[in-house]
Structure 1
Amino acid sequence: MSSTEDPWKFFSNQLPSDPRLMATLANGYLGTRVYGDILHVNGVYNGAGGDCHRADIPSPYFRLHVDKEKVLAENYCLNAKTGTFIHFLQCSTFTATHKIFAHRCYSNLLVNIVTLTPTQEYDQVLVNLQTKFKIESPDLDLQKGPDFEDYKYIYGSTLQSEVESCPKKSIHMIWTPIPLTLHLSSCQEKTWVFLTAVCETEKDVKEKFTEGLFLIGNKQIYSSHENSWVEFWEKSCIEIDSSLSLSQAVNGCLFYLLSSLPPLGYSGEFYGISPGGLSNGKRKEDYWGHVFWDQDIWMYPNILLFYPKMARHILKYRIRTLKGALQNAQQQGYKGAKFPWESALTGCEVCPETIYGEQELHINGDILFAFRQYYYLTKDLDFFASSGGWGVVCSVAEYWCSRVVWNVKEQNYYLNGWCKHEYYCVMPPDEYNRDVDNSAYTNALVQISLNFATELAISLQHHVPDTWTEIARKIKVPYDSKLDYHPEFDGYEKGQKVKQADVVLLGYPIMFSMTSEQRKNDLEIYESLTDPNGPAMTWSMFAVGWMELKKIEKAQQQLKKCFTNITEPFKVWTENADGSGAVNFLTGMGGFLQAILFGYTGLRFSIS
């Protein structure tokens, strides 16, 4: 196998013209685009309410450049196996190698390693380090602190917190100064290590930077990073006997998704995964770094399958933001918890567009579905009894019970588009339709949520309110008996365009009870009506559905559509096939991985 045919290494002799499509490096705490002038830290946001976004932190990045030497060869490689971006430069008298990585184990560290190797005798080698690094940020009141030994130090705090009760976040950064040039004046190979440490206190940043210096001194800075990735891959590798393109697509998805998680054994606070990952999310880009249902429905199942303990971090994030969700429900005039459509630190709604925050109620069911999957896989009852899981489950159940209304004519419960307040309506995952009654997907999740709450209450020996079982049994999920399919909502007319996967999710992952013929009809009807320019995760769900029905050719056709969202050379996904929307779109990657892990295998999370 030649190096260009390695399923883990993505090579190119040039960088993408669109900097949004650069490879990203992250480790669950910090993230950046390669050669990007900013980095982000998990949980550090600036701006109040709908203006809340990931805070831009200036990044001491640089690129290698030579002026006087002729470049004989140059290439770039993202090594997904080791979580490292490599720039290789070959000139007549020397080679230069630049490695960049967000340390997989020491997650406060961003590292650049440059090695110059002579290939023949010379007088002197000069390599320029190009950078536009400036100590400024629109989101932080940065100040220069006294040098830490021979290294630079800045600190500051965010300008505005998400809500008044939420304290501002502080950032402290120490880094190796970036010289204009590197000199090689002997005929021996030489290596320079440029270290950046980012923390939220002065004490921590000095400790973490010192740890990094210790690793450098013992020549362990890279090996410790590489070994941590080896440990990750031991538990999550997917081997595919297929084409190179499919293998690289799968490995790229896994790499970017796992890069969004903290190290194994991490015990600190984690603030969730946004659609564009930790490397993206600045103001007005890539959903501003907020957390959506994308995390709970699209990314989470893949993480849960391989790393149940890591999956707990996602559930703990929802537990930590329960207080804000309770406030959201109270503001709407309901009981229980209404989790925000877009979430940051507090669980209060931070969606810039009010309509989505008010109407996409299915987020409550999406979150509870993730808790349910965890319970079914692990049977970890203690997590619900002692770690706050039960608080989320019963609060969502209480919200549904206060939100539904009884329809006397049909003798069932409705999730109406107006309910108590005209402006609190319902929008299904298909965002082309709003103000609807009885979204099939949302109402199915109401039923599943209440059944799970009942089941868990019994296991925990808690009282089960009669309303939980009553509403679960009688909630309306629209069904057309003539056409034998599920209309998306009451009043849906067959032929209306659909933005993205919606009703098809009833089959997988929801596993709503239906016949094979109903499943086939849902797939056939909505496949032809779903916007071909919709978000990337959609086609994976059609693929899973056709695999369930043993229609492998149809499944392959749908899965193939995913490849139009994968950009070269570094396998960065775009939200939409035309390149628009969020980049490094982990939601699409999560759907694609589910098609591989749950579609081809038929694996499901269910109670035994």
Structure 2
Amino acid sequence: MLGVLAAAALVVVLLATKGASLAVVENLSTETDDVSKDPHVFSTYSLPSDDRFMPSIGNGHVATNMFSDTVYMNGLYNGFKGESHRARIPSWANIRLNSTLTQNPYSPMYNLDTKHGVFTVTVDRERSVVTQRIYAHRFYTRAIVNQIQVASKHRPDPNFLHPEIWIAIKLMPGPTSVDIAFEDPIPEIIDGRTVWSVCGQTKVSEDQTYQPLPLDVCAYWTSVPDHLVVPQHGTRVFTFAMTVDKNKTIARHELIKVLQTDGEELFEKHVEQWQRLYQQAGVHIEGNLKLAKIVNGIWYYYLSSLPAEVSHQPLDRFFGLSPTGLARGGTFDDYEGHNFWDTETWMYPSILLLYPQYAHALLQYRLETAYVAAHLARSTGHKGYRFPWESAYTGTEVTQPCCPEVAEFEQHVSGCISFAARQYLATTRDEDWLKQGGCSLVTNIADFWASRAVINYTSGFYDIENVMGPDEDHSNVTNSAFTNVVAGYSMYLAQYVACLCKDYYMSREPEHYADIAWSLALPYDADLDYHPQYTGYARGEGIKQADVVLLGFPLQYPMNESTRMNDLSYYESVTRSSGPAMTWSMHAVGHLRLGDRQHAEKMFNKSYKAYVWTELRRPDVGAVNFHTGMGGFLQALMFGYAGVSVYLDRLEINRPQLPPQTTRLKIRGMKYLGANLTLDIDENDISLTATSIDDNWPLLINNGKYNVTLVPGLTVTLSGDGPFTIRSKQWKDCKVPADVIGQSYLRPIGT
């Protein structure tokens, strides 16, 4: 048995505990034990009793939790503003084998294969082996496919009273949707099969100004009999499918294509797209099967909620990555499928490093709703773009009526979007993105912060008042350290982008951005050498989650090592244990970068062992399949243990080392300025291999002793702790910004 971690990993993939306290779970067998030794496969003989812990399948267009009566579709929301949530579509793909619904002498085996993107159920019966595979097709993206294979175990027996094999099945789509006004289903015959279709519209628009009409949705599905009949010998595969789209014609054509494709070819085409993704990149763990499974499960869930690269039908517009993914979002507990700062701050950094095309898609969602952000800024008396704390279909503020404080004060989300743009430009130098809206996005976010900053004639610094940092236990504060740094970074980035964009977009003088950013107040206590969370923060007050700690990472704000250590130590002591999952991963990164491996291991273990992967520590749960917590964990591996750092003018690898109880950490397919790089850390060596290099951006690496020109196929051994710096030529002769905020509050770096 793999024990608690693998069993708990169903919150990420398949297995979950029954809600007992962690201490009990560690000493008792879990409800569902993972019996697979394959790092990509989770297998169990029993499903969790709590449906929230069921795994999901998805392809970025449609998704569902296994054996759920609900399907969700990208961009389909119902409800006015704070009531907006993913609209429930009945799951005409929820087909169950009766032998998994009732007590029977057989023991079904359930598997989630994260490498091939498929959930399977295998029932070994007396006369046959029945295998059901369920997947959201990665090429035919409107389709959820069920395939049931019945394989006879015996030769025909003429004396047997019932020569055929009967397999009872049941379609369980659940009740009528309360979100969508569907018409009556209509049957038709397609290629000799009965197919049903239904169309409808969402009942309530999110915002009449930006969405005057309801959203259309149509579904097609194959008729499902109450049993399957096969001969007493041989093998037969039955294929059933459900397709969903806002366009009826697309949904119909997709179903026809799926039904006309040979069953094995249909599955292979799906697997081919998953393999295409995994060939591009991956994070590999050796020597620690539990950890490897968790990592593979996280990437499976991320990719399940991100759009296909290649698809049969043109892809629809993408509506972002929410804290619990596409398979959830119908309830408040699942954050209703909304987009938060979670996307840019927690999920985005790891995605950017391995799959920059998806980082682009996430930024594109923000660009497409920027005009709404402009209206929000103006309505609150400010300039530029102010993005809402929560957004969904229209990009308007959709925070629940329960929580007006976060909607009003947690404005740092705009700075986090700008920081994501900064990291994207640093790793891609994508000039087309700048031309197609990036310049405007960066500049308008800077305009917002410039209009929020007010000079304090007593201190001589600019204050930003009436905000809330990531710590949601304290609202309406002045000079939140985190908020002021991301605001300052936003303005510095606008100065830099003004240089990059001047040839084709901007003409105005940007120096005022740097002047304001340089003079923003940054709370700092010189006696205690740490950053108070905001102006007036009373030392000893408890906080909800990582806040000031985020200055060190992901923001990488320059400070003395003593200040960084004091921030980590102090805020660890006052962060409440009931906070969300991602906090301790940032503490782990901080200690790793300071060289305190022992304390880093403690924080790393704390970041996932009690969560894997719920929002809150067990026995509390919160959101399930919590992508935000997963993102923090990945960052602890990639930017903590692997030591990768992204800056505007370089990529650094600093103090690379192995995670606990592992023999190898390999990050394959890191993308930097068009190059494809692999960082390989094992017990004996650390190396960097260049698979390909973009001729436009030649790269030099300092390996600890010498500068080496990277060429395709070259492997460079990295000696010592680093930092190992990878650079290219300067971009358009534009000088990177100083990125210093409230300088007089800090001791000189290095003293």
- Which moves more between the two structures, 289-298 or 118-127? 118-127
- Alignment of 1:370 with 2:431, yes or no, is no
Unmatched segments (≥5 aa) in structure 1:
418-425
Q: Does 1:9 align with 2:41?
A: yes
Tell me if the contact between 1:564 and 1:577 (Cα under 8 Å) persists in the aligned partners: no
| Paired position in structure 1 for 2:686 | none
SS in 2 for 1:147: strand
Instruction: Return the letter of the residue paired with 2:197.
Output: Y
8 Å CA contact 1:533, 1:577 repeated in 2: no
CA distance change for structure 1 residues 115 and 210 in 2, over 3 Å: closer, same or farther?
same
Counterpart of 2:272 in structure 1 is 227
Q: 1:113 maps to what in 2? A: 147
Q: Match of 1:170, as an amino acid? A: D
Greater Rg over alpha carbons, structure: 2
**Residue equivalent to 2:671:** none
Aligned pairs for 1:185-334 (under 5 A) are: 185-215=231-261, 217=262, 219-265=264-310, 268-334=316-382
CA distance in 2, matches of 1:69, 1:439: 58
Which residue of structure 1 lines up, in the alignment, with residue 95 of structure 2? 62
- Distance in 2 separating the partners of 1:12 and 1:171: 36
Local SS of the residue matching 1:155: strand
2:428 matches 1:388: no
Cα deviation code 1:238-285 (max 9, x no counterpart): 121231111111111111111111112576411001101101110333
What CA distance in whole angstroms lies between the structure 2 residues aligned with 1:328 and 1:550? 44
SS in 2 for 1:605: strand
Retained in 1: the 8 A contact 2:608–2:633? no
Residues 614 and 622, structure 2, Cα contact 8 Å, conserved in 1: no
Say if 1:69 and 1:92, in contact at 8 Å, map to a contact too.
Answer: no
User: Is the partner of 2:485 in helix, strand or coil?
Assistant: helix
1:255 and 1:62 mapped to 2: Cα distance? 23
Contact 2:139 2:270 in 1 (8 A): yes
Mapped partners of 1:467, 1:63: distance in 2: 63
Residue pair 1:153, 1:172 contacting (<8 A) in 2 also? yes
Contact 1:533/1:578 (<8 A) preserved: no
Aligned amino acid, residue 487 of structure 1: P
Counting helix residues as a fraction of each chain, which structure ranks higher? 1
Q: What is the rounded CA distance, in whole Å, between the counterparts of 1:565 and 1:44 in structure 2?
A: 33
The corresponding residue for 2:621 is 580
- The answer as to 2:207 corresponding to 1:158 is no
Deviations 1:366-413 (A, max 9, x none): 00000110000001122112x111221111111111111110111000
C-alpha spacing 1:390/1:428, structure 2 compared with 1 (3 Å)? same
Query: Retained in 2: the 8 A contact 1:438–1:478?
Result: yes
Matches within 5 A, 1:482-501: 482-501=527-546
Percent identity over the alignment is: 36
* Contact 1:480/1:486 (8 A) holds in 2: yes
SS of 1:4's equivalent in the other structure is coil
Match of 2:391 in 1: 343
* Unaligned segments of structure 2, at least 5 residues: 3-33, 650-751
TM-score between both structures, scaled by the size of structure 1 = 0.95
What SS does structure 1 have at the residue aligned with 2:568?
helix
Q: Is 1:440–1:478's contact at 8 Å kept on the other side of the alignment?
A: yes
Label 1:508 to 1:13 Cα distance change in 2 as closer, same or farther (>3 A).
same
Contact 1:56 1:138 in 2 (8 A): yes
- Among residues 76, 79, 87, which one is paired with 2:110 in the alignment? 76
SS in 2 for 1:175: strand
In structure 2, C-alpha distance between the alignment counterparts of 1:332 and 1:593, rounded to whole Å? 36
Determine whether 1:415 maps to 2:456.
no
Letter of the aligned partner of 1:264 in structure 2?
E
AA paired with 1:392?
A: L
Q: Is the 8 A contact 2:110 2:119 kept in 1?
A: yes
Q: Deviations over 1:70-127 (max 9, x none)?
A: 5343211111111111111112211111111111222111011111111125633322
Separation in 1 of the partners of 2:413 and 2:80?
A: 22
Structure 1 CA distance, aligned partners of 2:489 and 2:644?
19
Which of 405, 415, 425 aligns to 2:454? It is 405
* Letter matched to residue 434 of structure 1: S
- Once residues 68 and 465 of structure 1 are traced to their aligned partners in structure 2, the CA distance between those partners, rounded to angstroms, is 69
Distance 2:443 2:148 in 1: 54
1:25-76 superposed Cα distances (whole Å, 9 cap, x missing partner): 1111111100000010010000111111100000010211239995343211
User: For residue 19 of structure 1, what is the amino acid of its counterpart?
Assistant: D
CA deviation profile, 1:416-454 (whole Å, cap 9, x unmatched): 12xxxxxxxx11100011111100000001110000010
Q: TM-score normalized by structure 2? A: 0.77
Residue 601, structure 1, aligned to residue 642, structure 2: yes
* 1:508/1:544 contact within 8 Å kept: yes
1:20 counterpart (48, 52, 55):
52
What do residues 266-320 of structure 1 show as CA deviations (whole Å, max 9, x unaligned)? Answer: 7641100110110111033311110000111101111111111221110000000
CA distance in 1, matches of 2:133, 2:263: 18
